[in-house]
Structure 1
Amino acid sequence: MYNVPPSRPRPRVLVLLLAAALASSAHANAHAADPQGADFADLSIEELANIQVTSVSKKPERLLEAPAAVFVITADDIRRSGAASLPEVLRLAPNLQVARVNGANYAITARGLNGGGNSAPNKLLVLIDGRSVYTPLFSGVFWDVQDLLLEDIERIEVVSGPGGTLWGVNAVNGVINITTRSAHDTHGSLAVLRGATEGGDIAFRQGGRTNDIGWRVYGKAQGRSHTELASGAAIDDAWHAGQVGFRADWERGADRFSLNGNVNRGMFGQPAPGTIAVSGANPGLGTVDTHGANLTGGWQHALQDGGSVNVQLYYDYTRREVPPTFTESLDIVDLQVQHTLAPIGAHNVAWGANARYGRDHVQGSQYVAFLPERLNQTWLSLFAQDEITLAPTLRATVGARVERNDYTGTEFLPSARLSWSRAPGHAFWAAASRAVRAPSRLDADTYIPGRPPYILAGSPGVRSEVAKVFELGYRGQPLPRLSYSATLFYNDYDDLRTQELRPSRTIVDFANLGEGHGYGIEMWGSFQATKSWRLSAGLTAMRERFQLKPGSNDAGSLRRAGFDPSHNLQLRSTYSIDAARELELAVRKVGALDIGQVPGYAALDARFGWRLRPDLDLSVAATNLNGSHAEYGGIATRSEVPRTVAVRVVWQN
């Protein structure tokens, strides 16, 4: 039992306490044209442009021809980066904003809105082998439980911009599509041991083949020590987690099957907002305890006429205990069906349906309640997309999705894209889309006890947040050793969530009285300086402006742009010294945040890798070599992201 404070804070402070609990706990299928598992460092710039992606049209297409802002993180990029977690891997994508909050938690988004509106980031859709990992509790992602054996990742496709037509609501500002390797490509044994100044990791994998079925099993455990304030005071946010899982793949004629499952458990401390939670001096808010399990099955059938049918079914269970605010148990069952037709003249049509069912139980506390505590929800959707060849160098893609949810009913998500290949190796594209972020339980079902009888009451009439997005882009290879991409975007937001104080000044409601816009540019490219030396660079720069509609008194919402840096610049050098040794250097420069007065920072990372034997790799990686810095602020105690040195040994047989 927790002690009740002698007097209750003001309504908005209590909402911020809930947001802190959510934020602290929340921030926390593609096949390559080359052989799977190939070393991408051996590929030329032209071959990299021919990598096939599936996130833009839900079917394989060359990266060069995809009419969207897509950045691909390859398996070799992950290995060379020295990253130890999925959020750290995502720093490789220049079209993402990745900010570490504390020991276990991250704030990640694309094109802004990385917080604000009394919630953690909630407009980025994340998929792992086709399984959506956003939570209907607040429409965001709990990053501390999105864990993978990094050696098993085949690629990560990062699409900045809306993807609602193909992927549904909440794919507003971007889609992260993570694909793991087929079990056919992970035979043999793998062991990983990593020791670092802030913790360590240990992992194993065993794969093989039984008849024509490829299989693998894996397990991993990791721990991170507490972080510190700029003053050097310790924060009780140490993190420990473990996960085991398996995958199997097999083929029967025109049919391909896959089955994978994972079980995870983790816990981390959370300091009280606005306090210095020094170990032994302040217990903070207690330890967040998480565990879950998921199982995904997929079937792909190639039709004789050139079309295909894909079916995927998954079950996902999660439980999260976040003292002193809430405990949630969530079961989700999701069925997806897609039919890709054989070409009909100039038309290439794909259509599909999705049915999703969630059973949610949120046990509240004296501080916050979700009413009803138990809620069953259903999401149903139908989509269709047609890629039309207007001329040998001109393609149009039009599509729409109709999706129904229990809060706002039916949402319409259309998109139109035009792609023009002026010459081989050059592609211009333009797009217009509508995307929405549907209400979550946080929007509609949150109640904070008080007088009379609540000081915050959920709003069942809350609407979806809407984004109308316009994009203009170019992707090309003007020289054999040079490729780059550039995208201009403009986002027009409406019905953004606000927190309104009633005239009685005793009750706060959620409403949709915010609006605004964001615009900017995303650029990245690679240059093969020599056969063994590649240089890469990326830049995102943007501006956001928000205002209130008549009747709103939530002046705090006007500051939501303060969670987003005005720019993010990165430079990376990849150098193969010889067949056994390699050196990676990277520099990141990120603009300041107005919320929490987080100053801008620059970070220097380095990794040296040495293949001691054909089956044994040794690497030394260092992050933030130039010193620690803060990356995210606000109402919670702000951690310094420390300088880290790690040694990693990988044995593979």
Structure 2
Amino acid sequence: MFRKTLKTTAGVLFASAMCSGAQAQTLNYDVMSELFGEPVTNSATGKPQRASEVPASMVIITQDDIQRLPERDLPGILRHYAGVDMVRWTAGAQDVGIRGYNQPLSPRLLVLVDGRQVYLDHFGYTAWRTLPVQLDEIQQIELIRGPQSALYGFNAVSGVVNIITKNPLQQPTGFDVSVNTDFNGTDEVGAVFSFNRNDRVALRLSAGVGQEKETDYTEQYETTDDFFSTISYDAAEDIQLAGSVYFQFDAKTTGLMEFTHSHVNQLDMQPNFYTADARYRLSSARVRLERDTDWGLISASLYQNSGKLTSVGSSFAVADPEFIVPSENTVTVFQLQNLFTVGTKNTFRLSGEYRNNTLASSPDPRNGDTQYDVFSVSAMWDRAITPNLRSTAAVRLDNLELERTGEVDDIYWFTAEDFDRTITEVSYNVGLVWNAGERGLFRANASRGVQTPSLSEFGLTQLTGDPDNPSILDAGNPLLEPTIVQNYELGWDRALGSLADMRLGVFYQSSEDLKTFLSYHATLLPPEAPFASTRFENVGESSAWGMELELQGDAPFDLQWGLNYTYQSVNDDLVGITIERDYGEGLQTQRNRYTGFEESTPNHKVNARLHWERDDLRLGVFANYVDEVTYPDRYVIVNGTAPDSDISAYLALSFRADYQVNEDVNLSIVGRNVNFGSDGVRTNRATREESSFWVGLRANF
């Protein structure tokens, strides 16, 4: 805990970390965490740092934390932490936002597994169930709040979730298996096999198979609108496979080869609150090489993510199947980095990146592919100004070159030449960390993040209805501008005597050139368009400010407790449009709406936990409170009825009990959303999270 490590100065800790020398590229998290007295990371600056010294608002969730929580998936784990908004739309579809702005297919959060992007570029979101990682193989989850584009890379505008897996070179040979079931249609099996040969070559294989019963949303949905007419899945189904080979060539050189595949069928929630049957087929391959040289720690990484997504929603009800083809997206990334020190006080990181991102013509196959190449350079300087005062400054330059191959059907607004465009943007992160001894540790930082439009936002071409006589046209817009997020924040960590550790943060951020989703764009009508049409547009600005307070401590009778509170306030300034349409009862005025972040972001959130542990038994109870929100409908008809959806504040209660049968076997019983007198909680405009109970078995061999 913070009060146990406060007496050790930042300079001493940094010197201790550097004693690892050539092994910095294979950071042993367990050893370094024991040395520092708290979790450590090397993600922000490249060198080992304890979590409290990172020049950003970071929370590190350890494997022990994961095993204490009443959750089976990553979004569920994240919802227990300050600054996080999590919405579970269906059994398979969840969205996570940081500091507000959450919505279906949330585009503002960058998610990485061991530094490899798993964020889907074709539409700009994370499909959490597709992540090819089992909870048992996670070393830690690094949750970073606020824009981090300069430190972490492409599109990290609201924050980053970096999932670090265990290094089998630092683990004994073993086999872990876990099983969860609720005996009512939800079953999961995960397995992780690690093989270590003489600490020179190590292998890790992991696999997960599961299904989660779908709720009957047609009965749960509390309006007369038939938003769920396209449901065909009885359960979300997933298979994840991953294999990694780690090499320790010599004392100064390491390597990695990695392959993953995910096969997922689930019900997605789209931004217009219509569901879609989604079928994900995602694969990745990566190689990485690192060497400690006289010029610094040099690392090179090459990976490719490829995937197919077939998504069929109610808008395709009468479409010709010939013109419903998968979205095929390929992302190829090469990264080169050099981390070096000058003297004992200065650490530098110089990086370069090349990225090619291609989306095949979809879902209308008659148009060309959309693609862009991005060339990026970045630099970071971390300096020990005094033994207790550190500064970090990072800057990144991205140059994006957009193009479209082939011809574009003349029914669309844009030609292939309109896609010949270059976008150049700068992002930065600057921060100060001051260890003031018994008065605590203070952080101040400022950052600029850049959210580039997704390939679909640039180049979607979609016709609904008979291709020879379509009724609706949806399209991308190659003239879109990136969304720019500017963030300022202050942080204070302090031990409150022997009672608790406190972490307090306040922030202000602004977003310029926010982008619509199709469902919120002003409908275009003849003569501006050949028929009813929508396209992506920049629609205005938004600002937000808030506070995150986290407390944790020990109590009598072997109790441990934690409490965090989040306040956030969003102020939108979005551009709308008013048109007149005849719905059979004369002309009515319709004002089209965009995503209502101001109303759909909860102002107050509280998470609480209480743990008790003795001998082989561990018990935990949890509470999650979320303030009331309002989801704006897709449009408001002044003379008709299309009301917004008000979601009342709710309190969700959960528990977990673990019994350690022996050194290798653990049994657990978990209940989530077990509110007394009700079957779960209504958490969003479309669905209700039902109460769920399951039992789990974990075994190590």
Taking structure 1 as the reference length, what is the TM-score of the superposition? 0.84
* Contact 2:110/2:117 (<8 A) preserved: yes
**Cα distance 1:103–1:236, how it changes in 2: closer, same or farther (>3 A)?**
farther
Of 241, 244, 248, the residue aligned with 1:244 is 241
Which residue does 1:259 correspond to in 2? 257
- Preserved CA contact (<8 Å) 1:426 1:478: no
Partner of 1:291: 281
Aligned residue in 2 for 1:132: 117
- Superposition pairs for residues 633-644 of structure 1, below 5 Å? 633=685, 638-644=686-692
**Residue aligning to 2:389:** 394
1:351 and 2:340 aligned = no
Q: Residue 195 of structure 1 aligns with which residue?
A: 181
Q: After TM superposition, give the deviation of residue 622 of structure 1 in Å.
A: 0.7
CA contact under 8 A between 1:333 and 1:357: conserved in structure 2? yes
| Residue 652 of structure 1 pairs with residue 689 of structure 2 | no
SS of the equivalent of 1:544 reads: strand
Q: Establish whether residue 167 from structure 1 lines up as the match of residue 131 from structure 2.
A: no
2:278, 2:310 within 8 Å by CA — same for their partners in 1? yes
Query: Does residue 330 of structure 1 match 2:326?
Result: no
Whether contact under 8 Å (1:372, 1:445) holds in the other structure is no
Q: Distance in 1 between matches of 2:536 and 2:219?
A: 37
- SS of 2:31's partner is coil
Aligned to 2:204: 216
Where structure 2 has 5 or more consecutive residues not aligned to the other structure, the ranges are: 1-24, 222-227, 317-323, 403-421, 580-590, 632-644
Change (3 A) 1:644 1:32: farther
Checking the alignment, whether the CA contact within 8 Å between 1:349 and 1:384 is kept in structure 2 is yes
Counterpart-to-counterpart distance in 2, 1:514 and 1:370 = 32
2:131–2:240 contact (8 Å) kept in structure 1: no
Q: 1:378 aligns with which of 370, 373, 379?
A: 373
Question: Counterparts of 1:248 and 1:643 in 2: how far apart (Å)?
Answer: 40
Contact 1:542 1:566 survives alignment (8 Å) = yes
CA contact (8 A) 2:190 2:208 kept: yes
TM-fit CA distance, 1:438 = 0.6
Q: Distance in 1 between matches of 2:301 and 2:145?
A: 25
Give the TM-score normalised by the residue count of structure 2. 0.79
Match of 1:110 in 2: 98
SS state at 2:547 partner = strand
Which residue is 2:400 aligned to?
Answer: 405
Q: Is the 8 A contact 1:327 1:362 kept in 2?
A: no
How far the C-alpha of 1:374 sits from its partner, in A, is 2.0
Q: Distance in 2 between matches of 1:527 and 1:33?
A: 23
CA-CA distance at 1:129 after TM superposition: 0.9
Change (3 A) 1:316 1:457: closer
Seen in structure 2, the aligned counterparts of structure 1 residues 453 and 373 have a Cα distance that, compared at 3 Å, is farther
Aligned to 2:320: none
Asked if the contact 2:172/2:196 (under 8 Å) is kept, the reply is no
**Aligned residue number for residue 303 of structure 2:** 314
8 Å Cα contact 1:99-1:631 kept in structure 2: yes
Report the CA distance between 1:558 and its aligned residue. Answer: 6.6
Q: In structure 2, what is the Cα distance between the partners aligned to 1:318 and 1:547?
A: 36
Give the 3 Å change call, closer, same or farther, for CA 225–420 of structure 1 in structure 2. same
Determine if contact 2:70/2:654 at 8 Å carries over to the other structure. Answer: no
- Mapped to 2, the partners of 1:190 and 1:263 lie a distance apart of 20
Question: Counterparts of 1:639 and 1:558 in 2: how far apart (Å)?
Answer: 18
Q: C-alpha separation between the residues in 2 aligned to 1:411 and 1:436?
A: 7
After superposition, where does 1:133-152 map in structure 2 within 5 Å? Answer: 133-152=118-137
Query: Are 2:317 and 1:303 aligned?
Result: no
Pair 1:535-2:579 in alignment: no
Distance 2:538 2:68 in 1: 44
Contact 1:514-1:557 at 8 Å conserved across structures = no
CA contact 2:359–2:455 (8 Å) conserved in 1: no
1:477 lines up with 2:526 in the alignment: no
Q: CA deviation at 1:452?
A: 10
Cα deviation for residue 275 of structure 1 reads: 11
1:579 aligns with 2:620: no
- How far the C-alpha of 1:199 sits from its partner, in A, is 0.2
The amino acid that maps onto 2:459 is D
- The answer on whether the counterparts of 1:548 and 1:558 sit within 8 Å (CA) in structure 2 is no
State the alpha-carbon separation in 2 of the partners of residues 275 and 509 from structure 1.
Answer: 17
CA offset at residue 249 of structure 1?
A: 2.0
> Do structure 1's residue 34 and structure 2's residue 30 form an aligned pair?
yes
Q: Alignment length, in residue pairs?
A: 596
2:168 matches 1:183: yes
Q: Is the 8 A contact 2:605 2:625 kept in 1?
A: yes
Aligned counterparts, 1:498-517, within 5 A: 498=516, 499-501=521-523, 504=527, 506=529, 507-517=533-543
- Superposition RMSD on alpha carbons, in Å? 2.9
Amino acid at match of 2:554: Q
- Going from structure 1 to structure 2, the CA distance change for 1:67 and 1:437 (only over 3 Å counts) comes to same
Task: Name the CA shift for 1:457/1:205 in 2 (closer, same or farther; >3 Å).
Answer: closer
Check 1:100–1:454 CA distance in 2 against 1; reply closer, same or farther (3 A cut). Answer: closer
Q: Distance in 2 between matches of 1:275 and 1:338?
A: 42
Q: How far apart, CA to CA, are the structure 2 residues paired with 1:343 and 1:322?
A: 52
- What residue ranges of structure 1 are gaps of 5+ in the alignment? 1-28, 277-283
| CA distance in structure 1 between the aligned counterparts of 2:619 and 2:27, rounded to whole angstroms | 28
Amino acid at match of 2:179: L
Deviations 1:8-62 (A, max 9, x none): xxxxxxxxxxxxxxxxxxxxx99465338x9xxxx8xx965x3212343243211
**Mapping of residues 504-653 of structure 1, within 5 Å:** 504=527, 506=529, 507-530=533-556, 532-548=558-574, 556-557=593-594, 559-576=596-613, 578-595=614-631, 596-626=645-675, 627-633=679-685, 638-653=686-701
| C-alpha deviation, 1:472, in angstroms | 0.9
Deviation at 1:447, TM superposition (A): 3.5
Q: Does 2:195 match 1:205?
A: no
Displacement, 1:63? Answer: 1.1
User: 1:138 offset after TM fit, Å?
Assistant: 2.0
Aligned 8 A contact 1:73 1:92 in 2: no
CA distance in 2: counterparts of 1:143 and 1:448, whole angstroms: 26
Alpha-carbon shift at residue 425 of structure 1 (Å): 7.5
* Structure 1 Cα separation of the partners of residues 147 and 665 of structure 2: 42
1:616 maps to a residue whose letter is: V
1:53 paired with 2:44, answer no
The one of 432, 447, 452 aligned to 2:461: 447
Which amino acid is the alignment partner of residue 165 of structure 1?
Answer: A
Deviates more, 1:321-330 or 1:176-185: 321-330
Q: Tell whether the 8 Å contact from 1:492 to 1:518 is kept in structure 2 after alignment.
A: yes
CA distance in 1, matches of 2:208, 2:541: 44
Q: Which moved more, 1:431-440 or 1:447-456?
A: 447-456
Give 1:358 deviation, angstroms: 2.3
Q: Does 1:92 align with 2:117?
A: no
Q: Deviations over 1:202-222 (max 9, x none)?
A: 122322223421212222210
Change (3 A) 1:482 1:377: same
> What is the CA-CA distance between 1:580 and the residue it aligns to?
0.9
Looking at structure 1, the residues matched to 472 and 387 of structure 2 have their Cα atoms a distance apart, in angstroms, of 63
Indicate if the aligned counterparts of 1:248 and 1:260 stay in contact, CA closer than 8 A.
yes
Structure 2 CA distance, aligned partners of 1:416 and 1:84? 36
Q: Per the alignment, do residues 442 and 358 of structure 1 end up closer, same or farther by CA in structure 2, a change over 3 Å counting?
A: closer
Report how far residue 296 of structure 1 moved. 2.3
Question: Does the Cα contact within 8 Å between 2:335 and 2:352 map onto a contact in 1?
Answer: yes
Instruction: Tell me how far apart the structure 1 counterparts of residues 273 and 628 of structure 2 sit (CA, whole Å).
Output: 23
Tell me, yes or no, if the aligned pair for 1:30 and 1:179 is still in contact at 8 Å: no
